[in-house]
Structure 1
Amino acid sequence: MNHIFHEHTTGFTTEPPHLYGRWRRDPLLRVTTGLRKTWFPFWAALERLHPLPADDGLLTLEIVGREVVAQDENVIALTFAATDRSVLPEWHPGAHLDLNLPSGRMRSYSLCGDPGDRRTYRIAVRRIPGGGGGSIEVHDTLSVGDTVTIRGPRNAFPVALPGFGSAAPRLRFIAAGIGITPILPMLAMADRFGVEWSMIYSGRSADSIPFIDELARYRDKVTVRTDDVDGLPSMDELVGPTTRRPHGETDLAIYCCGPVVMLEALRTHLVGRGDIELHYERFSPPPIVNGTEFEVVLNSTGERLTVPADQSVLTAIRAVRPDAPYSCQQGFCGACKMHSTAGEVDHRDGLLTEPEREAGYFLPCVSRCHSPELSVDA
């Protein structure tokens, strides 16, 4: 099909003749033309076109629920609703939203409520005293009745069920601590569809594990173990029983969320197991692969910062600019986006478009540099 636009060149200035030659100008078309020339200008004067408001992707929500969901009281669940209680955008298990905090910080949190409830969103936040301050701000400043702005939901950790997009006949869920948040709605969906699944849930102690009461309804499908009683789980314990299948057949799909150390150990353990799918999400920066040392020049002050081979540009900049924005630290939220004016960026994100990259934008949380130094507007 030809999609090239060609300007219309028809030279008609009056109506064509009647189909059977009875009139020089077709009377029906003359009436239609007259209506068009009078009605549309008249209606346009009454109904002026108004520009639509710009959609910045932000939603303003009200906190309608706040609940402590771990016995040590370090994890709280916040429930949001639209200020007018209208229907919220749809989401699916594994999705997260970006929460804009009063201080200007933005943090990403997994949705851990019921995807079928279109009136509310729920997240859970663990208080981390030595973190970047976002969790402390959530715990200390956000209360029922407050309003916040969010962006999303977005999904970087989707789940495919057996028979509904996955070739695996069964699922295994692995969660550690606050890593339960994206897994919770996955369990509900797997249970609702009647697929075969099991889960292992680990944490430092029973007091520190959130949503333990909510998981009780799944009975023996969920195994809870704590480090202080059971010790650290082995990789075989995390994966559970498996059956080696012929080459090309999948036995198990694993969905895992937890600390980087556990994820990397699990990845190493499953090397060569083509019969097991591994899907995971981490709440901390990924390890840097093939990193080299380079320098970053801050255009605003001329400061020169050394970025070690095992450190991100974002970490180096935050050492001298603690207020530098960031959120996921994994290259998918875009909160830390910066502009470079010199140097060759090694882009390692999956978010920015080619025009954005060509314009000099990059994500300092994951991007590296192919040149000895990189100049940035910061």
Structure 2
Amino acid sequence: MPLRPLLSSLTRHKLTVLLLVLQVGLTCAIVCNVVFMIVNRTAQLRQPSGLDEDQLVMIESIGLDENENPLTRHAGDLAALRQIPGVTSAVAIDALPFNGNDWSNGIATTPNAETNLTATAYNGTPGELGTLGLHLVEGRDFRPDEYLPMDSAHDWAGINHVPVTIITRALAEQLFPGRSALGKDIYPGDNPVRVVGVVDHLLRPQLREAASNEYSTLLPLLPDSADVTYVLHTKPQERERVLRQVSDVLDRLNGNRILRKPQTFTQLRDDYFRRNRTMIGLLLAAATGLLFVTALGIAGLASFWVQQRRRSIGIRRAIGATRGDILRYVQAENFLIVSGGIVPGMLLAYALNLLLMTHYELPRLPFLYLPAGAVLLWLLGQGAVLGPALRAAAVPPVVATRAD
């Protein structure tokens, strides 16, 4: 189809065409970024924590007796919790994925090195690896003689004396690319700590950028504060029953404490991502609404032009144009308008992404989203204009003989 008649026709309605081009461009920019945000947040929802999520029950305990020895209290509590029918193991820990209690520190491979790499330090009582269900891909678990008190009264001074650590595969690959991390030293504090094990996955308590979400270390440090989380491992079908008994067992041992947030790990994950799911719904609604408004604009303009051109369409039909010719003409005209909006829309999409990266820590928009957005808008435009195009093709040649 010759391009010049199409462009000539569009230049007769410059303002209308310009407004529609701007609308398409804005839609392209927003939809590309919205879809990317939805995909990014959906990927977070599905990200594995590394734990046996459907087999864990937890509760927070906050002791109120300042003269009580927390380590002794934790040992007594754990002994009682392990006696609950259906509980296979129990540990006291200071943090979990998704609970927000993130103790992060700088990690280096040489002493006094300047590094921007930070990792979460998880601490817990013996049996933490097995209770949480972490998958050890290299090395070994901690030995009982390697555990030390965290010494929270002195700003976690135990980190400068801990002998060994277990790290995640993601952290190992970042610190020692192409090499095994086993037997290597890292510096989470002032002194070297030997890597004795590598686990497959372990998310941080507070998610950040996707690349650093699994920068985690396990240290053989015993939580020694009055505020601790007890985690119990049980069968999925036993979780609710065990959860109902946990508070009663701890209350009978010592009523001078605060017990809060008894829940399964599944509930913890759901609570953490509740805002994400709400945001995904809002973004879907916004993108759908914007696409719908754009489709209405395209269809409305095409219907208006068809109504204006009925006689000229009839003349073309009278001199030999087929219905297919008229249909293709209207669709080609729409294709040019949408294409005119997609080009600046792609540039605007990248500019909007840079703004989101700066203020909301969103990753860079992959290039693939731009052609995908263009195809989506082309299909939307062709779908929206199909009805008016069919009405134009149905105009009979006799219309050419009628007076205006």
TM-score, normalised via structure 2 length:
0.20
More contact order relative to length (CA 8 Å, sep ≥ 6) = 2
Q: Which has the higher helix share?
A: 2
